[in-house]
A and B are shown apart, each in its own frame.
Chain A
Amino acid sequence: MSNQYYEFFCPVKVIAGRAALEHIPFELTGMAAKRPMIVTDKGVRAAGLLEPVIAACEESGLEIVSIYDDVPPDSSTDVVKDIAGIYRSEKCDSLIAVGGGSAIDTAKAVNILVSEGGDDIAKYSGAGIIKRPLKPFLVVPTTAGTGSEVTSVAVITDTRKSVKLPFSSSFLLPNAAVIDPRMTLTLPPHVTAATAMDAMTHATEAFTCMAKNPLSDAYATSAIKKISHSLLNVMDNPKDSEGRLELAQASTMAGIAFSNSMVGLVHALGHATGAICHLPHGLCMSLFLPYVLEYNLETIREPLGELLLYLEGPEVYAATPSNRRAEASISALRKLRDELHKRCKLPRTLKETGSVTEDQLDRIADMALDDGAIMFNPKEVLLEDARAVLKRAWA
């Protein structure tokens, strides 16, 4: 009898491609929603990304009742409470998150309050607290990396207690994720690179960590192939809308993969580095990925070797002896990082970031050891192991 067991769940409708935004009115009215509220941030608004969303709705006679455009990069319980207040006073009946991870997480938390009632979002923190469907909720990602549009978690900072509150429930998942290439066309090069490497890490860890399964594998490999094919083209031709769509889809696919098979040490180190040194998440992922793969190498040799096919294509895969494919996969990722460094100076080491000092490494290692992601890393990680990986990633 097979020992394999897995769970896979993704009920989010994915609406992707040309004129995808124009499906928003149909989707909302299909859920009997007539008074949507947009949750976004100032950067999205300044980049003019709200206009096509609003135009798409107004053209179909659907009025956007309220727009909250002040979501900070690290959203807080107070922001969530404020937005819920506006939602109620404007008598809204649905939410559209337009933005990156923070706007999406904020909208997920707002949806809890406006559906379940009350002003204290902390009450709903934890796993499985929410027991019923929430208000109609659509997500329009404006970065291609986080995959938040297909994950059932949100993290909100409780500023008074200085803690991060996790929320986890399948009811947090949006009804639909709308992926339109227009939304990522204006992403600056370093954000394009860092967020794509975030998606690459989601897919790579999903494929090599402990909860990998056949369904998440399919999403992960497809995401890796799309990123490998399109990332450098998009860096050279930022207005390449087909390439942009490929990256956006890859991000969603990687999101589906990792939310069903979890991530490992790259994320544990990245979360800790982000918290201590305030570095962007995608940058941390890109930075740690090859070093962690080297650490895990003997435990993940087979799946990592398989990834060479998706990273470098069939010719390189066929020409590489099977016992060298895992190393070749790591080399391919290093090569990709070198190319990104050439194009937008995306740091490849902690030293190159200019924001980390060597004396912070021990603190990062300590914090990483308590991160939930470390449970799913295929190889056991002790404090000295985490320190050794950080030393290698230093310079």
Chain B
Amino acid sequence: MFAKHIQPMVFPARRLYVGLMLQVMGRALQAVSEIDAAVQAEARALPDGFLFEMMVMPDGSRLIVEHIGNGRLYYHGDESPRPVDLSIRFKHIAHAFLVLSFQEKTSVAFANDRMLVDGEISYAVRMTRILNRLETFILPKLVAQRAVKEYPASLHLPEKLFRAARIYLKVATNFVETART
């Protein structure tokens, strides 16, 4: 009975959560590419102007990020200035929720065929590594361990806190700037 009443609220809440998380991740991708040399090294291999999309099928929330050169990423929101070069698409919002609520690792989601990759696979592998590195910075260790295949042993608390603080500050600033415009 209770489930019957709660069910109509679950779906919009899930949609809202996934949409919000994609916005946070898009901004965080831009932020981490501004402060982390390892992410910059990974992103440098992408062509300048390379557009990456992560979205929920069939036409749900999405994030669009562009490699603007020198390893820097730029978050475009949910609208792409031109056709994207690489798209990672969740087959259903339930699958996106599993990954974005850290109940299923990104790598496991790939293995479970929750997502479709359209574009060059080597770039998808690279973007996954960037996403993993971002998650290890911005999530508490216990949560990050659920999100990535292996939590890096070399990442110690002071570095993690320092990077996370900078990323969150940049994300918050970006949210405020976007709201103003």
A contact set with B: CB distance below 8 Å: 3, 5-7, 126-128, 166, 209-211, 262, 369-372, 374-376, 379-380
Contact = CB atoms under 8 A, between A and B. Distances in A.
A6 B148 CA distance: 19
Given A210-B107, A371-B121, 8 more contacts: A127-B118, A211-B112, A211-B113, A369-B125, A370-B45, A371-B122, A371-B125, A372-B122
19 contacts: A3-B104, A7-B112, A126-B119, A127-B117, A166-B121, A210-B107, A211-B113, A262-B111, A369-B125, A371-B122, A371-B125, A375-B107, A375-B111, A375-B125, A375-B128, A376-B107, A379-B149, A380-B148, A380-B149
Chain B interface: which size bin?
20 to 34
B83 to A, nearest CB: 13
Cβ-closest 10 pairs across A and B: A380-B150, A370-B122, A211-B111, A372-B121, A210-B111, A380-B149, A5-B112, A7-B113, A375-B110, A370-B125
A374 B149 contact: no
A6 B113 CA distance: 8
Interface in B97-151: 104, 107-108, 110-113, 116-119, 121-122, 124-126, 128, 148-150
A79 to B, nearest CB: 23
A262 B113 CA distance: 11
Nearest to B117: A127
B149 A6 contact: no
B11 to A, nearest CB: 19
B106 to A, nearest CB: 9
Contacts of B128: 375
Contacts of B121: 166, 371-372
Contacts of B110: 375-376
A300 to B, nearest CB: 13
A263 to B, nearest CB: 11
Contacts of B104: 3
A34 to B, nearest CB: 37
Central interface residue in B104, B117, B124, B148, by most chain A CB within 10 Å: B117
